[in-house]
Amino acid sequence: MTGTPRPYLLFLLLAAQPRGSSPATSGCASSAIRVNGILGELVVLPFDFKGTFKLITWYRPSPRQDTASGRKVPLAVITPGEPGALPRVAVEDERYRGRVRLHGQSYSLEISNLTLADRGEYKLEQNTIGHNVHFCDYHLTLYQRLSQLEIKIHPVMAENSTCNVTFTCSAGEGAWNLTYTWTGPAGGAVLSTKESLLVQHRLGDEDTPVTCTATNNVSTSSANASPKAACEGPTLPQTPALSYCRTKGLLVLGMLGSLLAGIVTAHVLAAREQTRPGEERSFPCAC
């Protein structure tokens, strides 16, 4: 019965190999851990670790190189505190001063007041007591929390008293990586997943309001638009026919005005002592 326990012993031997006898490196995930942050808010780069260590070094995206030593300037260096005390956090990168700390009771890094310059690849390097090195890579993507959407309206009159109105959904400057969904009335069918939507509205027909919903990975916002209001409402821009009428009216008014001025001048020249006041008249557009 001596043969049976051998594999078991071998396993025990392997498991009991003294750690750190040969330096080893390991990563915490097969690829970078993806983290989403919101501009101006805070984000946590997770590092789930309990135990003893010598040093934890965090690097920011494309770390600055120290000109004298040539070494990459870390974002922060964490060292264990005295027994019973909290770990020490030394923030070496001035860009992060006052903005980083350990999250709760963990070794996860919390970065607050996020700015666009904070996005990119972060790296954690942990040196254990046994001279092993443990790496973690993070990819931080930043998003803007969406505020109120604006819908721009562009109506064009088409044939047969139909109005082609183009609605364009806008989340303002600085919004990127957005997906748009246009839906019909009362959570109806998806009409489009583009930024703009063309709706044909017959003048006098019932309204069919549409809703634009813009989404990024961290927030969502929506707004409604009414084709009837866009086509028949008071804000409808002048149709070409109407503006032509206006132009014509102004032209006639101008011509009459100069005619009147000419008559008055002639009268003044003819009889300086007898001036007649010119009558003031308006010429409404008769179209």
Ligand X SMILES: *[C@@H]1O[C@H](CO)[C@@H](O)[C@H](O)[C@H]1NC(C)=O
Q: Whose Cβ is closer to ligand X: residue 149's or residue 163's?
A: 163
Please tell me the count of residues contacting ligand X according to CB under 6 A: 10
Minimum CB–partner distance for residue 70 and ligand X (Å)? 29
- Interacting stretch for ligand X, rule CB under 6 A, among 56-64, 75-83, 154-162, 245-253? 154-162
**Tokens describing residue 158:** 């088409």
Q: Do residues 80 and 51 lie in contact, with contact meaning Cβ atoms separated by under 8 Å?
A: no
What is the Cα–Cα distance from 224 to 185, expressed in whole angstroms?
A: 9
Strands 76-79 and 55-59: antiparallel
Q: What CA–CA distance (Å, rounded) separates 287 from 281? A: 18
Pairing relationship of beta strands 162-170 and 43-45 according to DSSP bridges: unpaired
Q: Is 158 in the site for ligand X (CB under 6 A)?
A: yes
From 7, 18, 98, 234, residue interacting with ligand X (rule: CB under 6 A): 98
| Range 110-139, binding ligand X (CB under 6 A) | 113
- CA 129 – CA 132 distance, rounded (Å): 7
**CB under 6 A: which stretch of 57-65, 146-154, 159-167, 226-234 binds ligand X?**
159-167
Q: Which is nearer to ligand X, 145 or 248 (CB)?
A: 145
Look at residues 92, 106, 103, 117 and name the one whose alpha carbon lies nearest to residue 39. 117
Q: Smallest distance, Å, CB 165 to ligand X? A: 9
Phi, psi (rounded to 5 degrees) for 148:
-60, 135
Q: Given the complex with ligand X, which of 76 and 214 has the nearer CB atom?
A: 76
The least distance separating ligand X from the CB of residue 197, rounded to whole angstroms, comes to 11
Enumerate the β-bridge partners of residue 156.
164
Specify the stretch interacting with ligand X by CB under 6 A; choose among 29-37, 45-53, 156-164, 172-180.
156-164
Please give the Cα distance from 11 to 115 (Å, whole number): 50
Q: What contacts 49, CB < 8 A, 6 or more positions away?
A: 106, 107, 126
CA gyration radius, the chain? 37
Distance CA 127, CA 167 (A): 57
CB of 178 vs ligand X, minimal distance in Å: 24
Candidates 126-134, 136-144, 151-159, 207-215: pick the segment binding ligand X (CB under 6 A).
Answer: 151-159
The nearest distance, CB 200 to ligand X, in angstroms, is: 6
Residue 196 touches ligand X, criterion: CB under 6 A: no
| Stretch in the footprint of ligand X (CB under 6 A) among 1-9, 19-27, 158-166, 266-274 | 158-166
271 counts as binding ligand X under rule CB under 6 A? no
Q: Which residues of the chain form contacts with ligand X (CB under 6 A)?
A: 98-99, 113, 156, 158-160, 164, 198, 200
